[in-house]
Structure 1
Amino acid sequence: MKKKWVSVLATVGLMGSLLAGCGGAPAAQNGTAPQSNTNNEGGATTAAADEYEKATIRLAYNLPQDHHISKGIEEFAKKVTERSGGNVKVQVYPAGQLLSDKEMNQAILTGGVEMGVNSSTLWASVVPAMGIFDVPYAIPTSYELAGKALNGPVGDKLKAEMEAKGAKVLLFADYGYAQFANSARQLTKPEDFQGLKIRSIGHIPSAMIQAYGAAPVFMGAGEVYMALQRKTIDGATSGTTAMVQRKYDEVSKYLTICNYAYLEFVLAVNKKYWDGLPPKTQELVAAAAKETEDWIRTQAEQEDKATAEQLKQKGMDVYIVPDSDLPAWKEAAKPAWEEYVKTAGDLGKELLEDMQNIK
């Protein structure tokens, strides 16, 4: 039975001030989220607070609160609230308190919630072109070049497609690169996947897993640990940040660093709501979002490196695929590229070409 989240939102609205009071961002593992400063660029002094019309913006996300994206989003909310002198209040509902990831997109598009953070993989069901982040080796295996792509034509085209559907992208939140963990054997080449059962994170990655000779298995992130422990699956794909948080090292021996996809989350706002905000408020929110996007991108690189090392220290056998071998991994994954073009059409082809031209 479909959840009546619309009525839930009305009820939860009464709890907003209490939840917002719990929304401060804790210190990051390898750095601290950029601190609010009511006098810096894009901000406002408390004395100028009356220049902002009063507004309450609800922002929901599903990631754990200690994830680097969550820390950045919490600080974003704090900046907007403080820089407006409290007139523009961003109430944060973390860790799935308000909406599940499956409910999030519809809630944003219909205005059931003003803002929300969700994965590009889930947005791909609304905007097929968003699946570009899941296409194996389409994104440069460089954090700098990935950022360049998102700050250039690729990002602009994806934002335009999202707006056409009714959601404005405020920032791309970099989760980090996707890897493989498994308990059967070390994966040093695509052929090593033959016969394995691998938990997938989406339609496009599943096409790659099948092309490598393995069977993709769909399940929620919270089910993976038990499935690995019980041997109902042999392995899973995810970022190393999630592997550490979900203790993959306890139930899988091998980690393969291949950077096949650049996992992305999106902070989006209902387009109609955004268009109704005063220009000054839009400027404030956009400036805070840009600062947050830059911080999250830097933190993603640090977190990827730190968590891969943690998994190694915890006993996982780590294999880093040499750059010279990556063309073979990419070529074997071509069926996934074809699957993406099939769903994303001409724009998908265009985006793939754009990505290959990023230098």
Structure 2
Amino acid sequence: MKKKWIGVLTTISLLGGLLAGCGGAPAQSGAGGSGSAPAANSSQGGTAAATDEYQEATIRLAYNLPQDHHISKGIEEFAKKVTERSGGKVKVQVYPAGQLLSDKEMNQAILTGGVEMGVNSTTLWASVVPAMGLFDVPFALPTSYELAGKALSGSVGEKLNAEMEKKGAKVLLFADYGYAQFANSARPLTKPEDFQGLKIRSIGHIPSVMIQAYGAAPVFMGAGEVYMALQRKTIDGATSGTTAMVQRKYDEVSKYLTVVNYAYLEFVLAVNKKYWDALPPKTQELLTTTAKETEDWIRQQAEAEDKKTADELKQKGMEVYVVPEAELPAWKEAAKPAWDEYLKTAGDLGKELLGDLQNIK
């Protein structure tokens, strides 16, 4: 009975989002307004005769990030390019910023075909594919954007996509959010022992195990609640990327920023596998090629945004401590319980993936 009601609620949510798209706000949005995303080239995709070869299709794509986020800009441009390169035959209708689905509804909607495509965090996908929790394992990924990208473009990305396909979703691209840091209002966090007794807003189960291992208490709450919680001292600090810290004005309610790059926050653009398999090969090729271009652009932006926003938080008055590379092994060793927790759920594949990451050079 519970499953039946979940299905009914998901259907109501989707219908509500579609009606909203047909009402005030347009269902298909542009590619950010800043012009910072790579411009679509309508000449790409061949001549008019070539675009006539595409079969007509309308693909709904939902995401929850703010529209001015670099991932959002990349996704919007992806949709625009696909539509233009197909001569309008393959239309990608974008539902941004939670207009159609919340992040908690997204995965189920993609898996059941309630929506054809969607963007969601690997942290949330880990409840479906435990191996996806890899990106939350402290200090597992290289602290280098280039090497992280190499891992995702190689065996690590291939193995994760294979697991996703078994569940009914195909990964079209990995969208780099950036590295995770710590902000707090209590004191500088220069070593794991400094966390003792603090209350830290966490972003997932595995990071929570790390926070506990450091002697702090993890607290779960929505991203939109963090500012008020910091302001009211309900929590002492929070972990997130610096892009989100700037967007949510953490500098107004937190004094200290610790740059430690403990996790590489990742999102994926996934498509329902049955829907994908039914698409003509020419359309699949168009989507795959455009997704690869978008993935590369988003990765470049993640690196630029991390640097820019960390500098911005410093300029706004936060005291920034960058953990020296020589001290990272101590942080990693103290976070070992989080590694054990990941292996407990991800099993042999998790162990294999961690091994693959250690060999990335």
User: TM-score scaled to structure 1, two decimals?
Assistant: 0.96
Q: Match of 2:131, SS?
A: helix
1:295 paired residue number = 297
Query: 2:206: which partner in 1?
Result: 204
- Does the Cα contact within 8 Å between 2:185 and 2:256 map onto a contact in 1? yes
CA deviations over 1:197-221 (Å, ceiling 9, x no partner) = 0000000000000000000000000
The aligned amino acid for 1:316 is M
Contact residue 137 and residue 263 of structure 2 kept, 8 A: yes
Q: Distance in 1 between matches of 2:157 and 2:94?
A: 25
Per-residue deviation at 1:37?
A: 1.0
Q: What's 2:42 paired with?
A: 38
For the residues of structure 2 that align with 1:247 and 1:236, how far apart are their CA atoms?
12
Equivalent residues in 2 for 1:26-105 (5 A)? 26-27=33-34, 32-40=36-44, 43-105=45-107
- 1:5 is matched with 10
C-alpha distance in structure 1 between counterparts of 2:127 and 2:219, whole Å: 19
> Deviation of residue 35 (structure 1)?
1.1
2:29 aligns with one of 19, 22, 29: 22
Map of 1:100-249 to 2, 5 A cutoff? 100-249=102-251
Separation in 2, partners of 1:290, 1:16: 28
| Residue identity (%) | 81
Structure 1 stretches of 4+ with a deviation exceeding 3 A read 10-18, 44-47
Name the CA distance, whole Å, in 2 between partners of 1:45 and 1:89. 18
Shift of 1:21: 4.4
Q: Show the counterpart of 1:335.
A: 337
Amino acid at match of 2:342: Y
Contact 1:134-1:205 at 8 Å conserved across structures: yes
Distance in structure 1 (CA, Å) of the matches to 2:173 and 2:53: 25
SS in 2 for 1:56: strand
Equivalent residue for 1:304? 306
Local SS of the residue matching 2:321 = strand
Three-state SS of the structure 2 residue aligned to 1:315 is coil
Change in CA separation of 1:273 and 1:16 when aligned onto 2, cut-off 3 Å = farther
Q: Matches of 1:219 and 1:268 in 2, distance apart?
A: 25
* Deviation at residue 6 of structure 1 after TM alignment: 1.6
Q: In structure 1, what residue type is equivalent to 2:41?
A: N
Structure 1 residue matching 2:52: 3-state secondary structure: helix
Does the CA contact (< 8 Å) of 2:17 and 2:99 recur in 1? no
CA distance in structure 2 between the aligned counterparts of 1:238 and 1:302, rounded to whole angstroms: 16
SS at match of 1:51: coil
Instruction: Tell me if structure 1 keeps the 8 A contact 2:17–2:101.
Output: no
Q: Secondary structure at the match of 1:171?
A: strand
Match of 1:260 among 259, 262, 266: 262
Post-superposition offset of 1:34: 1.1
Displacement of 1:26: 2.2
CA distance, structure 1, for counterparts of residue 16 and residue 360 of structure 2:
47
Give the length in aligned residue pairs: 354
Residue 15 (structure 1) shift: 6.1
In the alignment, structure 1 residue 280 sits paired with structure 2 residue 282:
yes
Q: Are the equivalent residues in 1 in contact too, given 2:18–2:100 (CA < 8 A)?
A: no
Query: Residue 68 of structure 2 aligns to which amino acid in structure 1?
Result: D
How many Å apart are 1:27 and its aligned residue? 2.0
Give the Cα separation in 2 of the matches to 1:233 and 1:14. 38
Q: Give the Cα–Cα distance (whole angstroms) in 2 for the partners of residues 193 and 12 of structure 1.
A: 42
Query: Which TM-score applies when normalising by structure 2?
Result: 0.95
Amino acid at match of 1:22: S
User: Cα–Cα, structure 1 residues 12 and 215, in superposed 2: closer, same or farther, change >3 Å?
Assistant: closer
**C-alpha distance in 2, partners of 1:314/1:217?**
26
Q: Matches of 2:49 and 2:32 in 1, distance apart?
A: 25
Structure 2 residue matching 1:249: 3-state secondary structure: helix
Partners of 1:12 and 1:45 lie apart in 2 by 36
**In the aligned structure 2, how far is the partner of 1:264 from the partner of 1:331?**
23
CA shift for structure 1 position 49: 2.2
